Amino acid sequence: MMTETIKQSLEELFPPVETAAAPAVEESTDQDAADDKKKAAATAPRANGVITSDYQACGYHVDAQVAPEQLLAAVSKVNEAGFFIESITGVDWIADNQLEVVYDFCRYDFDLCRVVIRTRTDRANPEVPTITEIYSGANWHERETHDFFGIKFAGHPHLIPLLLPEDADFHPLLKDFKA
Amino acid sequence: MSAPIQLRSDETFTLNVGPQHPATHGVLRVKMEMDGEYIYKAETVLGYIHRMHEKMGENRTYAQFLPNLGRLDYLSAMAYNHGYVLAVERACGIEVPERAEYIRVLTVELNRISSHLVWFGAFIMDLGGFTPLMYAFDDREAILDILEGVTGARLTYCYHRFGGVYNDIDDDFIEGTKAFIPRMRKALKVYENLVTKNIILMKRLKEIGPVSAEMCRRYGATGPVARGSGINYDVRKNEPYSVYNEFDYDIPVYHECDSYARYMVRMDEMEQSLRIIEQALAKLPEGPIMPAKKPKIIKPPVGDYYQAVEAARGSFGIRIVSNGDKNAYRMKLRSPTYSNMHLFDEACRGMLIADALAFMGSLDLVIPEMDR
Amino acid sequence: MSLTLINVLFAVVAAIGFAALNAAYLVWCERKGAGFFQRRPGPTENGPWGLLQPPVDGIKLMTKQLIIPGGVDKAFFMVAPVLAMFPAIMSFVTIPFSENIVAHNMDIGVLMIFAFASMGSMSLLLAGWGSRNKYSLMSSVRAVSQSIAYEIPMLITVITVVMITGSMDLKVIVEDQTAGFWQWNVFALLKSPLMPVSFLIFFICSLAETNRAPFDLGEAESELVAGFHTEYSSMGFGLFFMGEYANIVIGACLTTILFLGGWGCPFGLLPGVWWFLLKVYLLIFTFIWIRWTFPRTTIYGLLNLSWKILIPISLFNLLLTAGLLKVF
């Protein structure tokens, strides 16, 4: 199963100390503990790590949160496993003072597996490495994310506004954006 | 036909194809560096009708955002409706009655045929043939009439609702669809004789616009573009949603990777959609079209939900990030043409402008959907 | 004033009238024809069956402003449309509509018509160059390479016909074929067994020479917007339009004269001129039919067709005919 394979290869990114914490959300059978965790997840940003998510409930199989430095390694693993890039987008977690970049990957074959890779960066100086070297199709998606959130993709070959006007200096999807 | 000569970067001129150009079918602009009639490189400039639908998704409730989905891909609006309601239903855990799902599939597939008909006409017009456009629009009119009867709209549908559909289908719809199927089959024969077997068309499309499977993967191309490159990927089969599992239909896949393969995929898809419609009409169950129990106000629990559907142009994905509020915290719309068009810049290098525009037509662009 | 001069002036006026009338009503035919092929009515609003559409269109075109974009080469820009219309009109002067109806018959009528036809591509070149528009420029370059490519097989085919007849006088060429329809050059298998092929080549070339679909690469609207007349408005555009249709009539007339026996009628029912016009308009209908059926070729496909197929065949045909003439 591709889900297990990709999960294992992504977990290699995390040293044992961190991986032990992340799956706890699922493996915990204690209802109260799980609820506590959920509440904590709702209020505080989640720790980096890989989770197997419930496909029926949320629509993807593997959900990995990595540090920006680990991003290229994680995306390379996905690339080597033959995934195609579905989209890249951002989410503004203004309460945590963080910006999240979300990468969606999927497969062409019938071994269905959707992988989500997330990374979080500081809201004041948002910068993540570009993955255009690995997936050429990330180019427009990253430019779009740059337009909407102001996230800099370090090393991007052509980071100018794509959907917004050429001289746009605003980022409309930031939660503190005022039109 | 790729360039027989070495193209030189120091002898080029810039040609602005668009934002107003007959071949772009909308306000798309492609900045082409040309060496004579050969394209040295191209850069697509988007955003001329960018409307920030994703922001609108954030500042209105889920139900209020529903009409926006018809304004993305105005040619296959029904599939976008479907994707959105499925995503919200997944987030809220709403059960959909079976009859409603059948009606959704019926309307989506009818809409897929009408969308392909517009593409067919416009594509042949890109190649300089006018008459097929009129024939295609004539047949499309029949679909629009059928859909207008139940949805009240001819183009920008807002028919699917969270949990079901807005309106039950009536006898007019069923009779009209039943009459439409043989008509469309006959029309497809006409198209085959008039257009598909035409030698000029074959010469213009075969071995033009090569898109390899690897290139599709790097750019995330889906839909007929991927299927014309030998990739057997269709969300309806790979990631079955709704009631698509209950029908017997094939996914046309061609391995030639050229414009003709993409053309053939779409032509075959119309026949497959007819098959689905036929079976859906035969199996259509009785019952309600809305669930008995449905939350009055849609408030998905905290979380991150993704749903993909097969629109006429490829995989349309929708990501809802909810913080438990009645507005979405983040609404990401993944449009298929955005990725499909992206590979144009790389694929068109060294092509003649006439071939490049034929290639662009074979990607089946809908600009509002790219710009969102 | 000598009688010849008056004669010529009258002829020119008549030719202009004929060309203009034809151009105007061919547009109507084209639109009605397109409507017929596309299952729609075509123009219906002005007059019965939309018959008043051409004059209304003409008034519209004439009353519009002729916009001269900034930075164009004004002289070329203004001369080009005139040059598009003028050779077509001049060609009418020597075309025999029947035994008697010919403005000015010439011994070298064929040569004169082709000399004027070659000027047509000049106007496209000037329009494209003078317009200061990249699309126009590309289109004019295309148009010139196209007309060079297609004039060669066309002329070789005409030489074949001239060799059979032994005259470049259009009247003589027709009179050679009037005995009956088996005498028409297209069926003259005894003179040269490849005559139907010649007819086909000539017909294809006249399609290409008149910039008609599927060879309308000069104004390929899905690629080059409107080609060489992108920047033209008002009667500048109108003249190009009329020139195009006048050229179609010339092409059909020439095909009729060279291959289909001119005014010769199969049964001797009507006066010759009606047969001539009937043949011409049937050919024009075929032009329209082809235009609304086929998609457009590409420029390299077009040039390949000419240089790799039509020219070798027509050369072979010429040699064969010459050989047969020598032997028999």
Q: What is the pLDDT of residues A84-105, one digit of tens each?
A: 888 898 888 888 888 889 998 8
Q: Is the CB of B138 less than 8 angstroms away from the CB of C222?
A: no
Q: Which of B127, B134, B203 sits opposite C40 (nearest CB)?
A: B134
Q: What is the pLDDT of residues C16-65, one digit of tens each?
A: 787 778 878 888 888 888 888 888 888 888 878 888 888 888 888 888 88
Chain mean position to CA A75: 10
Please report which helix (H) or strand (E) contains residue A63, including its range.
strand A62-66
pLDDT at res. C269: 66
Q: Is the CB of A108 less than 8 angstroms away from the CB of B218?
A: no
Q: Is the CB of A89 less than 8 angstroms away from the CB of B87?
A: no
Task: Select the residue from A51, A58, A132, A167 to test the B interface by mutation, using most B Cβ atoms within 10 A.
Answer: A58
For B51-336, the fitting CATH number among 1.10.645.10, 1.10.3720.10, 3.40.50.920, 3.40.50.720 is 1.10.645.10
Question: Which residues in chain B touch residue C142, judged by CB atoms under 8 angstroms apart?
Answer: 37
What is the Cβ-side half-sphere exposure of residue C189, based on CA atoms within 13 angstroms? 3
- Are B39 and B353 within 8 A, CB to CB? yes
Q: Is C86 helix (H, G, I), strand (E, B) or coil?
A: helix
- Are B261 and B224 within 8 A, CB to CB? no
CB-based contact (8 Å) between C204 and chain B? no
Q: Is the CB of C295 less than 8 angstroms away from the CB of B201?
A: yes
**Is the N-terminal amide bond of B19 cis, ω within 30° of 0?**
yes
CB-based contact (8 Å) between B62 and chain A? no
With vertex at residue A115, the alpha carbon angle to CA A111 and CA A117, rounded to the nearest 5 degrees, is 165
Confidence band of A21 (pLDDT split at 50, 70, 90): very low
Render each residue's pLDDT in chain B as its tens digit; 372 residues. 455 567 677 778 888 887 888 878 888 888 888 888 888 888 888 888 888 888 888 888 888 888 888 888 888 889 998 999 998 888 888 888 888 889 999 999 999 999 999 999 989 888 888 888 889 998 999 999 998 988 888 888 888 888 888 888 888 888 989 999 999 999 999 888 888 888 888 888 888 888 888 888 888 889 899 998 888 888 888 888 888 888 888 889 998 888 899 999 999 999 999 999 999 989 888 888 888 887 778 888 888 888 889 888 888 989 898 888 888 888 888 889 888 888 888 888 888 888 888 888 888 888 888 888
Spatial separation of the C-alpha atoms in residues B292 and C186, rounded to whole Å: 79
Among the listed residues C106, C111, C143, C113, the one whose alpha carbon sits nearest the alpha carbon of residue C125: C143
Q: Is A168 helix (H, G, I), strand (E, B) or coil?
A: coil
pLDDT at res. C266: 66
| CA trace torsion C292, C293, C298, C300 (10° rounding) | -120
Spatial separation of the C-alpha atoms in residues C225 and B367, rounded to whole Å: 19
Distances from the Cα of C146 to the Cαs of B297, C134, C298, C301, in angstroms?
67, 18, 11, 11
Residue A51 belongs to a domain with what CATH number? 3.30.460.80
The set of chains that have 3 or more CB pairs under 8 A with C is: B
CB-based contact (8 Å) between B131 and chain C? yes
Spatial separation of the C-alpha atoms in residues A167 and A158, rounded to whole Å: 15
CB-based contact (8 Å) between C294 and chain B? yes
Number of domains in chain A: 1
B284: exposed, middle or buried (C-beta count within 10 Å: 0-12, 13-18, 19+)?
Answer: middle
CB-based contact (8 Å) between B291 and chain C? no
Task: Assign 3-class secondary structure to chain B.
Answer: CECCCCCCHHHCEEEEECCCCCCCCCCCEEEEEEECCEEEEEEEECCCCCCCHHHHHHCCEHHHHHHHHHHCCCCCHHHHHHHHHHHHHHHHCCCCCHHHHHHHHHHHHHHHHHHHHHHHHHHHHHCCCCHHHHHHHHHHHHHHHHHHHHHCCCCCCCCEECCEECCCCCHHHHHHHHHHHHHHHHHHHHHHHHHHCCHHHHHHHCCCCCCCHHHHHHHCCCCHHHHCCCCCCCHHHHCCCCCHHHCCCCCCCCCCCCHHHHHHHHHHHHHHHHHHHHHHHHHCCCCCCCCCCCCCCCCCCCEEEEEEEEECCEEEEEEEEECCCCECCEEEEECHHHHHHHHHHHHCCCEEHHHHHHHHHHCCCCHHHHHC
Q: Which of B93, B317, B339 sits opposite A137 (nearest CB)?
A: B339
The torsion angles phi and psi of C71, rounded to 5 degrees, stand at 85, 5
Q: What is the pLDDT of residues A103-161, one digit of tens each?
A: 988 888 888 888 888 888 888 888 888 888 888 888 899 888 988 888 888 888 888 88
Q: Which of B216, B332, B342 sits opposite A140 (nearest CB)?
A: B342
Closest A-chain CA to B330 = A91
Question: Which residues in chain A touch residue B52, judged by CB atoms under 8 angstroms apart?
Answer: 172
Please name the residues between 30 and 89 in chain A that touch chain B, using a CB distance below 8 Å. 38, 42, 56-60, 63, 82-87, 89
DSSP string, C256-276: HHHHS-TT--SS--S-HHHHH
The alpha carbon dihedral of A23, A25, A26, A28 has a sign of positive
The pairing of beta strand A152-154 with beta strand A127-129: parallel
Q: Is the CB of B352 less than 8 angstroms away from the CB of C34?
A: no
CB-based contact (8 Å) between C65 and chain B? no
Task: Select the residue from C298, C302, C304, C305 to test the B interface by mutation, using most B Cβ atoms within 10 A.
Answer: C298
Q: Is C25 helix (H, G, I), strand (E, B) or coil?
A: helix
C167: exposed, middle or buried (C-beta count within 10 Å: 0-12, 13-18, 19+)?
Answer: middle
Spatial separation of the C-alpha atoms in residues B236 and B109, rounded to whole Å: 11
The alpha carbon dihedral of C162, C163, C169, C172 has a sign of negative
pLDDT at res. A36: 53
pLDDT at res. B149: 87
Spatial separation of the C-alpha atoms in residues C110 and C168, rounded to whole Å: 6
Confidence band of A28 (pLDDT split at 50, 70, 90): very low
- Are C138 and C233 within 8 A, CB to CB? no
Q: Is the CB of B23 less than 8 angstroms away from the CB of C222?
A: yes
Shortest alpha-carbon distance between residue A21 and chain B (Å): 20
pLDDT at res. C103: 66
| Predicted complex ipTM | 0.84
pLDDT at res. A16: 58
With vertex at residue B63, the alpha carbon angle to CA B61 and CA B66, rounded to the nearest 5 degrees, is 110
pLDDT at res. C182: 67
Task: Select the residue from B5, B30, B353, B357 to test the C interface by mutation, using most C Cβ atoms within 10 A.
Answer: B353
- Are B311 and B74 within 8 A, CB to CB? no
pLDDT at res. C72: 84
Q: Which domain holds residue A34?
A: 2-137
Distances from the Cα of C130 to the Cαs of A50, C116, C136, C140, in angstroms?
65, 21, 9, 10
Q: Which of C38, C40, C299 sits opposite B354 (nearest CB)?
A: C299
pLDDT at res. B113: 92
Residue A105 within a domain:
yes
Q: Which of B233, B302, B334 sits opposite A42 (nearest CB)?
A: B302
Spatial separation of the C-alpha atoms in residues C278 and C280, rounded to whole Å: 5
- Are C289 and C208 within 8 A, CB to CB? no
Shortest alpha-carbon distance between residue C191 and chain B (Å): 33
Question: Which residues in chain B touch residue A161, judged by CB atoms under 8 angstroms apart?
Answer: 47
Q: Domain residue spans in chain B?
A: 51-336
Q: Domain residue spans in chain C?
A: 3-327
Q: What is the pLDDT of residues B199-218, one digit of tens each?
A: 888 888 888 888 888 888 88
CB-based contact (8 Å) between C98 and chain B? no
CB-based contact (8 Å) between B22 and chain C? yes
Question: Which residues in chain B touch residue A104, judged by CB atoms under 8 angstroms apart?
Answer: 306, 317, 319, 334
Q: Which residues of chain C have pLDDT under 50?
A: none
Is the confidence at residue A23, as pLDDT, over 50?
A: no
- Are C209 and C151 within 8 A, CB to CB? yes
Spatial separation of the C-alpha atoms in residues B321 and C159, rounded to whole Å: 77
Q: What tokens does B6 get?
A: 């070495």
Strand partners, A92: A99
Q: Is A119 helix (H, G, I), strand (E, B) or coil?
A: strand
Return the number of other C-beta atoms located less than 10 Å from residue C266's C-beta.
11
Shortest alpha-carbon distance between residue B305 and chain A (Å): 4
Distances from the Cα of B122 to the Cαs of B138, C109, C215, in angstroms?
13, 45, 19
In total, chain A counts a number of residues equal to 179
pLDDT at res. B199: 85
